[in-house]
């Protein structure tokens, strides 16, 4: 780790001038850390059916487990992620890892639903260490390779989300749901040790107090048009993404497919395409400019959503394959756009990367929440074509925002 140890000095928070400060093992470690942290948010979802009876909790109470986890994550992005600019980001990552281990163990040994719900909230808050790792990677990376490095780390994050449900389901089936949380705590503990040994220190880039730090989010929003466009465009793409995924299971359950929850879950494998394309999108953003990548991503998402309107023209045996192909296409587009938007945002102000990332992620969460609401309403009123229309219009809106982008910051 000699190359890592020399990466930072007093200017630790500024991008390195070469790849010397960001060895391949460190990039892999950051990618693994982002993936394991993000995975913690989704372990509970496949186990809700078995953990409820085990702790004498009804379905409505158990449903609050993933809800509080996601709410904790959203609150952590807004309230905790900006601290990465004020304090040594390494210390924040290690502290969150320690809290996440404790929260996972508390969930695994929770004697009642009340304890599990409390642990779930803390779990979501501390899992935001993933959103500290990505800016850390962007800070360590030289400017000419920032897109590639961010893309690689995001691949780890996306694979963590994708594989978390599969791993959770397998472990829970053979060893029980508590074993999932205990095993997850062990993985984060090992990660914490690796980060403690391998991650360099980061010099704070601001001396603002906590209140001023949060208030500066609105200042950054008003000051940087590139940040506003990135947050709004990614928010629109996330709206379409969420509208599709939040209604897919209901649609597949009805005619003409009559498929169960397992089939809907299998569609999540489309996320692998988005995870694998992340480094490629990062390289294109480095070589051709991130603005081009945002347009390509938004355009692909819009075309993929619109292609679902062709379903009535496709023979019944091919409709499911059209749906799968469209899901792969829009997932590629949404994730490629996210990598490009992160590259843009991290280049705006090196001293405010954690806060800039927080604003971008809040925009995404707003889009996800709006998409879930609009998607369910559209499905109830206009059916599946209504959902497709919502997703397509949102993606076209993102494309229009990117087509009229100027290279100003």
Alpha-carbon gap, residue 80 to 75, rounded angstroms: 8
CA dihedral 235, 240, 245, 247 (to 10 degrees): 130
DSSP code for 74: H
Q: What integer pLDDT is reported at residue 56 of this predicted model?
A: 79
> Which CATH number is correct for 2-205, 3.40.50.720, 1.10.1200.10, 1.20.1250.20, 2.60.40.10?
1.20.1250.20
Q: What integer pLDDT is reported at residue 299 of this predicted model?
A: 96
DSSP per residue over 346-381, as a string? Answer: HTT-GGGHHHHHHHHHHHHHHHHHHHHHHHHHHHHH
User: Are 188 and 105 contacting, i.e. CB atoms less than 8 angstroms apart?
Assistant: no
Task: State pLDDT tens for residues 254-278.
Answer: 777 777 655 665 666 666 666 677 6
Mean pLDDT by groups of 10 residues along the chain of 409 residues: 33 37 85 93 79 79 81 89 91 96 96 92 94 90 83 85 79 88 96 94 90 93 95 94 78 73 61 68 80 93 93 80 87 89 90 91 86 85 93 97 72
Q: What integer pLDDT is reported at residue 234 of this predicted model?
A: 95
Alpha-carbon gap, residue 77 to 216, rounded angstroms: 15
The pTM for the full model equals 0.78
Q: Tell which residue, 130, 72, 46, has the closest CA to residue 96.
A: 130
Compute CA distances 49 → 59, 176, 270, 346, whole Å: 8, 12, 24, 41
Q: Is the peptide bond before 88 cis (omega within 30 degrees of 0)?
A: no
Alpha-carbon gap, residue 241 to 352, rounded angstroms: 28
Assigned superfamily of 215-403: MFS general substrate transporter like domains (1.20.1250.20)
Task: State pLDDT tens for residues 271-318.
Answer: 666 667 767 777 787 788 889 989 999 999 999 999 999 888 888 778
Alpha-carbon gap, residue 115 to 109, rounded angstroms: 9
CA 337 from chain centre, in angstroms, equals 13
CA terminus-to-terminus distance, the chain = 36
The full set of domain ranges for the chain reads 2-205, 215-403
């Amino acid at each position: 780790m000699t190359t890592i140890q020399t990466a930072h000095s007093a200017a630790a928070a500024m991008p390195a001038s070469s790849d010397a400060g960001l060895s391949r093992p460190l990039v892999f470690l950051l990618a693994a850390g982002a993936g394991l942290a993000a995975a913690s948010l989704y372990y509970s979802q496949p186990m809700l059916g078995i953990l409820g009876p085990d702790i004498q909790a009804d379905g409505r109470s158990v449903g609050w487990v993933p809800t509080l986890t996601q709410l904790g994550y959203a609150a952590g992005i807004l309230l905790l992620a900006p601290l990465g600019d004020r304090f040594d980001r390494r210390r924040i990552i290690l502290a969150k890892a320690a809290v996440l281990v404790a929260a996972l163990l508390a969930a695994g040994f929770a004697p009642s639903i009340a304890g599990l719900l409390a642990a779930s909230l803390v779990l979501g808050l501390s899992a935001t260490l993933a959103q500290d790792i990505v800016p850390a990677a962007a800070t360590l990376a030289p400017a000419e390779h920032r897109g590639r490095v961010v893309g690689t780390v995001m691949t780890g994050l996306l694979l963590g989300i994708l594989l978390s449900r599969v791993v959770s389901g397998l472990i829970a089936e053979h060893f029980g749901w508590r074993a999932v949380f205990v095993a997850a705590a062990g993985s984060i503990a090992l990660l914490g040790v690796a980060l403690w040994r391998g991650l360099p220190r980061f010099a704070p880039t601001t001396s603002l107090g906590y209140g001023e730090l949060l208030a500066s989010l609105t200042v950054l929003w008003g000051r940087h048009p590139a940040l506003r466009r990135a947050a709004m465009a990614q928010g629109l793409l996330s709206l379409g993404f969420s509208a599709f995924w939040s209604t897919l299971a209901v649609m597949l359950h009805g005619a003409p497919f009559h498929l169960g929850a397992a089939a809907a879950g299998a569609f999540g494998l489309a996320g692998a395409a988005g995870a694998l394309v992340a480094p490629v999108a990062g390289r294109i953003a480095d070589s051709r400019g991130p603005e081009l990548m945002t347009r390509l991503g938004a355009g692909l998402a819009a075309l993929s959503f619109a292609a679902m309107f062709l379903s009535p023209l496709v023979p019944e045996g091919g409709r499911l394959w059209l749906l799968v192909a469209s899901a792969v296409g829009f997932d590629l587009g949404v994730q490629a756009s996210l990598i490009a938007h992160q590259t843009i945002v991290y280049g705006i102000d090196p001293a405010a990367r954690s806060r800039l990332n927080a604003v971008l992620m809040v925009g995404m969460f707003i889009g996800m929440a709006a998409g879930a609401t609009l998607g369910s309403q559209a499905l109830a009123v206009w059916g599946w074509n209504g959902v497709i229309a919502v997703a397509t219009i949102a993606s076209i809106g993102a494309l229009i925002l990117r087509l009229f982008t100027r290279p100003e910051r």
